[in-house]
Amino acid sequence: MPAARTGGRLLFAGAPRRHRVSGPEPRLTEHLRLFQQLRAAQERRDGAGTGRPPPGTPIRIALPGGGRLPGRALQTTPFQVAAQLGGGLAEAALVARVNGTLQDLDRPLESDTDLELLDFSTPEGRAAFWQSGACVLGAVAEQFFGATLCGTQATEDGFFCDVHMGDRTVQRGELPALEDACAAFACAGHRFERLEATRQQLAELFKDNSFQLQRIEEEVTSPTATVYRCGPLLQLCPGPLLRHTGLIAALRVLTSSAAFWQGAGGRRSLQRLTAVAFPSAQDLADWQQAQDEAALRDHRRIGREQELFFFHKLSPGSCFFLPRGAHIYNTLVDFIRSEYRARGFCEVVTPNVFSPRLWELSGHWQHYSTHMFSFTAGTETLSLKPMNCPAHCLMFAHRPRSWRELPLRLADFGVLHRNEPPGSLTGLTRVRRFQQDDAHIFCTLEQLEGEIDACLDFVRTVYAVLGFSFRLALATRPPGFLGDPETWDRAEQQLERSLRAFGQPWELSPGDGAFYGPKIDIRIRDALGRQHQCGTVQLDFQMPERFGLEYASATGGPARPVLIHRAVLGSVERMVAVLAESCGGRWPLWLSPLQAMVIPQAPEVEDYAREVQAVLRGGGVVADLDGDAGATLARKIRRAQLAHYNFQLVVGRRERARGTVSVRTRDNRQLGERDLRWVLQRLRELRDARVPDAEERF
């Protein structure tokens, strides 16, 4: 549906579809009245300028590239700056970065400002757009179904909202009408209004929503939190959000599924609605085309067709890797192990089950306990580990350490478990049981820069082999961080120096760090242009402190090590999925579980074909044999090529007499008759070199 711009608002063109959206309930009107009163009081306080430059004070606005503009404190907004700059910025800008912090475009600047305007092409702009879309979906779902909104969230691929509807479920046939209602709501141009509210005010605003009250109790640790109004909806949300819903020109409701809420009254059933939204109808059309192409490369389809893996309801969220899938999995792990040996890492094995006291000591329990599997053994509560770092701290601390042992690089492929919600489980990309190429480096402050540089080089080496380009982002301290700001500043400055020295472009992600330290997030780009968060390099000054880790320094006194968390593949399961979809099941030879298919021309040479297969397998090459006597030679060759076998080795009477094979590639290039031993040697050379185009180089 094409979109038109009228009076500064994006409207859906074409005849409106039929929809039904009821008015707000009386109790919600009471909440809206309170919201407006609180917001008016907030605007009066802001206008007074208490503790800030008086309203109207001249301020300096610095722009990327060195440009400067004048402004007025508590009067000039980022949107006004965008309109002044022209060039379509006012239409494209979605949110602003003000002195490193994201904020709404209509929120006035308070003082001298470094200002960056962010559009949909940026991760921050896209996240704000999709979080705003989630508010639209939540507002409409409350009215459309008479539901209670529990929460909304933007994801890498769109957004979702969870609603409570009692025993009622959302049927697939209802989604088009829900989408129509969302379109009408967006076209109405409801403004997103922001309010900073105290905990007492929050409790009054959401007194009739037990789900939001529980969120306030569990998540709001500061004196105030941010609430947004969008039409009849009040939503606890940190923001920033769009200026108004009219900027959402296209919205597609994708799925409905079951989800669960764990509260004081036990587990309650919810409905999760997922959707995606865009600034234009053309963006939605482009997205749909990309989805159609991605569906052809869906790793779940590839896994089924190539017999790589499967899932079973008797072990939800845990993958069964079949022999071919296990070959890919183990080859990736062996690749990382070879790099570990070259880079001075020591592989260790740690337990799977720990007392919660370990996670309380590490600080994970208060941040992560709901995502952990815990159980009772006798009178003791135990938990499956969701990460390896606390165990590695125990390993460091189990005996006295000397500065001569540092840096100590511990690597661990141990099995991890995380209690992901049922509705979020998606093939290999979101599982409950997985392994990581997880490593932790204990080092001195003086060694820190060199170790981070080496971690980034590790990333570059591995991703070059896998054929991925990547982007880097420095994620700084989040709300609720552990430790003191001075330590965080030092850690963030160290990571920034390393990023500058690495020489590749990077961006800032304010507030996205882990609770224990800042990190470098690494997003790879696959063959379809999609981005995936896989690798990370994280600094941690907190955990060595919490575990009391020490080593004897060169001067003889005790010293505290610095901890670096790092992963390159990240979850091996997730990396298998990313690689499967990126190559479309056409695996590079070194990783392929379909390296060679031996094809006898006739049943009389099948014995020789089996000899060829045995020689290849004995040499470490994955080789299958097509002994189907009822199929023609042409059909067997075509079957192997469609299955994406890298090479087909055809044998007949002549090849048997000469000890040779006739070689073809999956692209039907005929490479001619070659000596079997030479073929084995060449396949091993190409495999061990991990080249991406073995068929071309053969």
Instruction: Extract the runs of DSSP E, i.e. beta strands, from 35-89.
Output: 58-62, 68-72
Within a 13 Å sphere around the CA of 427, how many CA atoms are in the beta-carbon half?
A: 18
Q: How far is CA 660 from CA 407, 593, 621, 633, in A?
A: 52, 23, 17, 17
Tokens 């995380």 locate to 418
Q: Is 389 a catalytic residue?
A: yes
- Tell me the torsion sign for CA atoms 630, 632, 633, 635: negative
Q: Is 440 a catalytic residue?
A: yes
- Residue type present at position 610: R
Q: How far apart are alpha carbons 418 and 247 in whole angstroms?
A: 37
Q: How far is CA 528 from CA 6, 525, 693, in A?
A: 35, 8, 18
Annotated catalytic residue within 418, 430, 523, 656: 418
Q: Which residue, 136, 239, 149, 235, is CA-closest to 185?
A: 136
∠ CA(484), CA(488), CA(492), 5° rounding? 175
Annotated catalytic residue within 194, 324, 565, 566: 565
Annotated catalytic residue within 119, 438, 540, 624: 438
Q: Is 636 a catalytic residue?
A: no
Q: Which residue, 143, 169, 167, 140, is CA-closest to 152?
A: 140
Q: Is 418 a catalytic residue?
A: yes
Annotated catalytic residue within 229, 297, 440, 523: 440
Tokens 């392929």 locate to 592
Residue 409: left if φ>0, alpha if ψ -120 to 50, beta else—which one? beta
- Tell me the torsion sign for CA atoms 343, 349, 353, 358: negative
SS3 assignment, position 326: helix
DSSP for 128-139 reads: HHHHHHHHHHHH
Annotated catalytic residue within 187, 389, 393, 583: 389
Annotated catalytic residue within 164, 519, 523, 656: 519
Q: How far apart are alpha carbons 394 and 567 in whole angstroms?
A: 20
Annotated catalytic residue within 80, 131, 436, 648: 436
Q: Which helix (H) or strand (E) holds 675?
A: strand 670-675
Tokens 């609430």 locate to 227
DSSP for 164-204 reads: E-TT----GGGHHHHHHHHHHHHHTT-BEEEEEEEHHHHHH
Q: Is 436 a catalytic residue?
A: yes
95 within 8 A of 80, measured Cβ to Cβ? no
Backbone dihedral angles phi then psi of residue 261, each to the nearest 5 degrees:
-120, 125
Q: What residues form DSSP beta bridges with 514? A: 517
Q: Is the peptide bond before 356 cis (omega within 30 degrees of 0)?
A: no
150 within 8 A of 163, measured Cβ to Cβ? yes
Q: What is the 8-class DSSP label of residue 406? A: P
∠ CA(191), CA(197), CA(198), 5° rounding? 170
Q: How far apart are alpha carbons 433 and 374 in whole angstroms?
A: 14
SS3 assignment, position 322: coil
CB atoms within 10 A of CB 181: 23
Q: Enumerate the active-site residues.
A: 389, 418, 436, 438, 440, 519, 565
